[in-house]
Amino acid sequence: MLNLARFHGGLHLPNNKELSNQAPLRQASIPKKLVYPLMQRQGVTVDPKIQVGERVLRGQVIAYSDHPLATPVHAASSGVIEAIEERLIPHPSGMADLCIVIATDGLDESLVTQGVADFRSQDPASIRTAIKNAGIVGLGGAAFPTSIKLNPGPQRKLDTLLLNGAECEPYITCDDCLMQNQPESVLVGAQILLHSLHIERCIVAIEDHMKRAYARLTQVVAALNDPRIIVVQVPAIYPTGGEKQLIKVVTGKETPSGGIPADIGVLCVNVGTASAVYDAVCNGKPLTERVITVTGRGVKEPQNRYVRIGTPISELIEQCGGYTEHVERLIMGGPMMGFALPDDEIAVVKATNCILAGTAADINTGKQAMPCIRCGDCAKACPVDLLPQQLYWHSRAGNLDKCKEFSLFDCIECGCCEVVCPSHIPLVQYYRSAKSKVIAKAKEAEKAAVAKRRHDMHLERKAKEQAEKAERARLKKEALAKVKQANAEKEGVTQ
């Protein structure tokens, strides 16, 4: 029995999970087209490894890069590369970028792959390579490469693997659904991670309303007879599913500001990621599909489905009965931490855990922002113990140094401050904007530093060339003088 701790702030949000968790988990149909953005995260882009007109099979790598934070992109079904062109991508700014488009052929032919018979016979490096080659990233929403997470470096000693099944957003049920339907893959995935990390403790944390998932997981843990794994229920206080908040609740440890969980001996992995690790290592399957929640009162048949990565949202909505007449906004992710989409032709990516077709009842629309009244409610609700009001003022004024001083980058953008703000100020938008400006400013400073180094090196090279030229001239002058002297001496002897 674990003694659970409590993090600062947080909110009890209305639970709308019953919209999607009543229907059985289904397999989504293969879409007519699959779309894959080449940009994976800020500053990380993969390169196409195919050409337009080429036929590809499911599981084939179609894009990759040597960048350490890049993961390979695999085709999710067989078909022909139709285009490599600019399309809207799932991004808060609504930006467009290069995408690979596959016209599927309906045959769903796959590459022949094979997993390992016994993962315990594999060394950690081999497991990390299998996970990297399978393109596995964190499926909780961050999409950070899992193979990198499994290699925290020799200076960090891990003692706890924490599987994050605390799905705190009020509409999302994909992790709950996965744990109910595939508890074996989640828990064997946990065993693989334990083996690769050489640690002896795994805690699977789920929220206390997930009764069926808890029953299924505890049943499988008992069948595996693995005393290293325990399942705990944590209070459903938003944002318990935040990595640092969950670590605090389960272990009592605080992740240091600017640090990572590995600094305090913890590796936190989403339950969907653990399941994907199982598929990659034991079945040799790359990450080409995942469970996605399609929900909200703006879609006729909310449910969870196994969806091919690259599926356009329009086709996914169509498979769920289509839109209702009251739909107002399409959000990727939950209403708290997700972002609005400008178009339903945008495709799902590995980080997509939910598509929320929201009506006015699902999302706050039309509330006019008013001046801050300095009530301080935002600070009481902040789960990171920040001062959101100060961050707001400094973000609004463009005072980026002050924003950093008030720990802007510790903000997890959970939206608790916005929910309690009586003035309806879109606080998270200000924080995201300030973060973007700080990052852009840092990149500009880095570029300027590189340019200065290049200029200094150019001056040093030029000075060196001039010195060498002067030295050559001096040596030449000395040589000529010696020749003249020798000639003069020779003429003197002759006379």
Question: Tokens for 482?
Answer: 């010696």
When pLDDT is cut at 50, 70 and 90, the band that residue 3 belongs to is: confident
Q: Count CB neighbours of 127 within 10 A.
A: 22
Stretch 146-157: mean pLDDT: 90
Q: How much is the average pLDDT of 388-400?
A: 95
DSSP-assigned letter for residue 93:
T
- Using alpha carbons, select from 54, 61, 46 the residue that is nearest to residue 286: 61
pLDDT average, residue stretch 97-117: 95
* pLDDT number for residue 56: 98
**Per-residue tokens: 443:** 């990149």
Long-range contacts of 332-336 (CB under 8 A, 24+ apart): 332/90, 332/356, 333/141, 333/169, 333/172, 334/169, 334/170, 334/171, 334/172, 335/169, 335/170, 335/171, 335/362, 335/363, 336/13, 336/169, 336/170, 336/238, 336/239, 336/414, 336/415, 336/416, 336/419
Q: Using CA atoms, how far apart are residues 311 and 238, in angstroms rounded to an integer?
A: 30
Average pLDDT over residues 298-306: 97
What percentage of the chain exceeds 90 in pLDDT?
A: 88
What does the radius of gyration of the chain's CA atoms come to, in whole angstroms?
29
Interval 216-226 mean pLDDT: 96
Question: How many CB atoms neighbour CB 147 within 10 A?
Answer: 22
Under 8 Å between Cβ of 260 and 410: no
- pLDDT for the residue 155: 87
Whether 491 shows a pLDDT value over 90: the answer reads no
In this structure, what are the phi and psi dihedrals at residue 268, rounded to the nearest 5 degrees?
-110, 125
Could you tell me the two tokens for 15? 């639970």
Asked if pLDDT for residue 184 goes beyond 80, the answer is yes
> Scanning the structure block, which residue is given the tokens 């720990």?
407
What DSSP state is assigned to residue 180? H
The residue among 17 and 366 whose pLDDT is bigger is 17
More confident call, 59 vs 15: 59
* Neighbour order of strands in the sheet with 229-234: 229-234, 202-207, 160-165, 266-270
What is the per-residue pLDDT for 366? 64
User: Picking from 42-51, 228-237, 289-298, 345-354, which range would have the lowest pLDDT averaged per residue?
Assistant: 42-51
The pLDDT assigned to 258 comes to 86
Distance, CA of 391 to CA of 411 (rounded, Å): 10
Please report the pLDDT score of residue 494 as a whole number.
61
Strands (E), 11-89: 26-27, 33-37, 39-41, 44-45, 47-48, 55-56, 61-64, 73-74, 79-88
Contact indicator for 54, 75 with CB cutoff of 8 Å: no
What whole-number percentage of the chain has pLDDT above 70?
99
Task: Tell me the per-residue pLDDT of 458-479, one tens digit each, with 9 for 90 and over.
Answer: 999 999 999 999 999 999 999 9
Mean pLDDT computed over 39-46: 87
- Using left for φ > 0, alpha for ψ between -120 and 50, and beta otherwise, residue 376 falls in left
Tokens 């149909």 map to which residue?
Answer: 29
pLDDT above 90: residue 492: no
- Structure confidence at residue 495 (pLDDT): 59
Residue 367 pLDDT exceeds 80? no
For the residues 414-426, what does the mean pLDDT come to? Answer: 94
Does the CA dihedral 321-327-330-332 come out positive or negative? Answer: negative
Average pLDDT over residues 423-429: 93
pTM for the full predicted model:
0.88
Q: Name which of 229-243, 292-306, 359-373, 422-436 the model is least confident about.
A: 359-373
User: Over the stretch 60-85, which tens digit does the pLDDT of each residue have?
Assistant: 999 999 999 999 999 999 999 999 99
Report which of residues 492 and 170 the model is more confident about. Answer: 170
Average pLDDT of the chain to the nearest whole number: 94
Cβ contacts of 72 within 8 Å, gap of 6 or more = 46, 61, 63, 64, 132, 133, 135, 286
- Both tokens of 105, joined, read 């052929």
pLDDT of the residue at 355: 97
Packed helices 211-224 and 174-181: angle between N→C axes, nearest 10 degrees: 40
Residue 443: which pLDDT band, with cuts at 50, 70 and 90?
confident
Among 390, 377, 376, 381, CA closest to 430: 390
Which segment of 37-51, 206-220, 271-285 scores lowest on mean pLDDT?
37-51
